[in-house]
Amino acid sequence: MSSTSKNTGGPARGSVTGAGSPAGGNSAVQVEPAFAASTGRSPWWSTAVIYQIYPRSFSDADGNGMGDLKGVTDRLPYLSRLGIDAVWISPFYVSPQADAGYDVADYRDVDPRFGTLTDFDQMLAAAHERGIRVIVDLVPNHTSDQHAWFRQALESGPGSAARDRYMFRDGRGEHGELPPNNWQSVFGGPAWTRLEEADDGAATGPQWYLHLFDARQPDLNWQNEEVRQEMVSILRFWLDRGVDGFRIDVAHGLVKAEGLPDWAGQAAMVSGESSTAEATNVEDEEEVRMGGSAQQEPPRSPMFDQEGVHDIYRQWNEVLAEYHGDRMLVAEAWVEPAERLARYIRPGEMHQAFNFDFLLAGWNARRMAKSIDESLTAAASVGAPSTWVLSNHDTIRHPTRFGLADPTSVPKGIGRQDEQPDESLGLARARAATLIMLALPGSAYLYQGEELGLPEHTELDHAARQDPAYFRTGGEERGRDGCRVPLPWNSQSAGFGFGPDDAAEPWLPQPESFGRYAVDRQDGVPGSTLEFYRSALSHRARFQLGTGVLVWSPANKPGSGVLSFTNGQVLMVANLSTDSIDLPPEHQVIISSGPDALDGSHLSPNAAVWMTPRS
């Protein structure tokens, strides 16, 4: 099993046998999410496929070069046809856009770039008419520095009630010239900024304020009762309008450790750097990242995952429960290990948490299997379903990650000077990974454009870049712009149909290759990635994979590069090895990951299939 040869059509080295039997030796594990059993029913979100809309890059109806809410309304037929159950829309609130809307200046209004509240209401009603639920993004950890509260805090001075809504502190050093502690911002550089002399009147000179992200995103003080009440009132504002749920930004960050103690670590969202870049065969690698980090774990960050955050979500859960229709909260919490993450989805807290461990597992059967097992087990231990995600607006698109020499690495952006991916290999693996993900019980999140197989833009110019992380790290992190490029709807139109014909240029340049991926080039084209997603989602619904139970197949042996399990009637087989494998003759293929996936009864490397028993 240590061969590294590519598929040559030679003898198969692995095979899938006895699949579908729950307990067949050491390699069969049965993991049952206890959610439905404990509640007697499955609310919509527990099995939903939720499509992330990054509004500035989805569809530009008004032609200003940036996507908008009308654009979302216009494209609802496309989303219905895709077969998703819900959308999660990244922030569209009033914002100076220092962090693409994750810097909110007014939580109760729509930024004119994206439309109006009326546009929002129309979009919501139109989505609901089609049976599509709508989740909005709530950013409670920080506001924009243009928020009225922060302006008041600056005007009101040290010790004021207005300042207590944020994390202001006197500096250290004789003249307060040193930051209050040594925390580093997630986007690079210090997590504290000192006010200008003119803004302040403290004894030790101007105060400092905390920002875990950009300096234009001051952190709120969650020990302040007014902050808590305000956020509940904002929840109600959107619940009253009819939203179905909230994605909670930095859900693990709201409460900081008492006394804000120094911490030498570097806070990060994506902690998936691979330490295995030199390995040539991903299946021969040690499980360095997960296993290694557990042993030499640094002291837990005082910025994140503090006990106090759970009180907040218990309160929010009660607020949502007052509304009909199974409203939900999904946590964006970069918390490890799975058991700690599961604490966010205990009964009476949030309903879902993003499962970033699965995203970080890369193209590696052993890591994926481990992640799946641990995620399902941890979620089931609190009676919750799991979630699955491969891409979002903060990480390199998975077709690109899987096309890198080390397909388990998750770089923080890719630039022209960096290794460029193998596009077709990455896409083949990405489609196979999608079949793995969509066969798993629970809920799945898709990121706009993945249904087209869109790659990352890996050659953006310096001048085009906008991510604050790029600037705060002096370009060391290339940043997240490459996964946020406006979608190509029509290969023949200007801006690939992102906006109307006379529209302004899309806010980020699209690579030429986007023409090949445009919707018009894939719609109705057999074998296209779009048709593949439509078909996979339809099979997922038909076989009710979201509510199913995962049973590992005996073929799923560590080191084999084969990942295989059953979920109800469906047998999923993925080949992450470098050689073809035999498929079980007693099963027939209902969908394969791509045109080259099958070679007779063999499954090629970098491919996956769903099968059902032959009748």
Q: Is 303 helix (H, G, I), strand (E, B) or coil?
A: coil
52: β partners: 88, 447
At its nearest, how many Å lie between ligand NOJ and the CB of residue 389?
A: 12
| Sequence letter at residue 14 | G
Q: Give the residue with the Cβ less far from ligand NOJ, 253 or 362.
A: 253
Quote the CA–CA distance of 593 and 571 in Å, as a whole number. Answer: 14
Do the beta carbons of residue 351 and residue 345 sit within 8 Å? yes
What's the helix, strand, coil split of the chain in %, to 5? Answer: 30, 15, 55
| Sequence letter at residue 79 | L
Catalytic residue among 322, 461, 502, 512: 322
| Element housing 168 (H / E) | strand 168-169
At its nearest, how many Å lie between ligand NOJ and the CB of residue 522?
A: 28
Catalytic residue among 219, 249, 394, 582: 249
Do the beta carbons of residue 28 and residue 553 sit within 8 Å? yes
Do the beta carbons of residue 458 and residue 416 sit within 8 Å? yes
Q: Give the residue with the Cβ less far from ligand NOJ, 75 or 211.
A: 211
Q: Where are the beta strands (DSSP E) in 181-294?
A: 192-194, 208-210, 245-248
Q: Give the residue with the Cβ less far from ligand NOJ, 139 or 562.
A: 139
Q: Residue with CB nearest ligand NOJ? A: 102
Residues that bind ligand NOJ (CB under 6 A): 99, 102, 139, 213, 249-250, 332, 393-394
Is 501 among the residues known to form the active site? no
Q: Give the residue with the Cβ less far from ligand NOJ, 119 or 137.
A: 137
Do the beta carbons of residue 458 and residue 421 sit within 8 Å? yes
Is 322 among the residues known to form the active site? yes
Q: Give the residue with the Cβ less far from ligand NOJ, 166 or 213.
A: 213
At its nearest, how many Å lie between ligand NOJ and the CB of residue 449?
A: 16
At its nearest, how many Å lie between ligand NOJ and the CB of residue 271?
A: 14
Do the beta carbons of residue 48 and residue 85 sit within 8 Å? yes
Q: Give the residue with the Cβ less far from ligand NOJ, 51 or 610.
A: 51
At its nearest, how many Å lie between ligand NOJ and the CB of residue 254?
A: 12
194: β partners: 208
What are the phi and psi torsion angles at 547 (to 5°)? -100, 0
In 3D space, the residue among 466, 433, 465 whose CA is nearest the CA of residue 450 turns out to be 433
Kindly list the strands in the beta sheet with 192-194, ordered across the sheet, starting from the edge strand earlier in the chain: 168-169, 208-210, 192-194
Quote the CA–CA distance of 579 and 570 in Å, as a whole number. Answer: 23
Q: Give the residue with the Cβ less far from ligand NOJ, 304 or 496.
A: 304
At its nearest, how many Å lie between ligand NOJ and the CB of residue 64?
A: 21
Max CA pair span of the chain: 82
| Sequence letter at residue 324 | H
Per-position DSSP letters for 50-68, written without gaps between them: EEEE-GGGT--SSSSSS--
At its nearest, how many Å lie between ligand NOJ and the CB of residue 100?
A: 7
**Residues with catalytic roles:** 249, 322
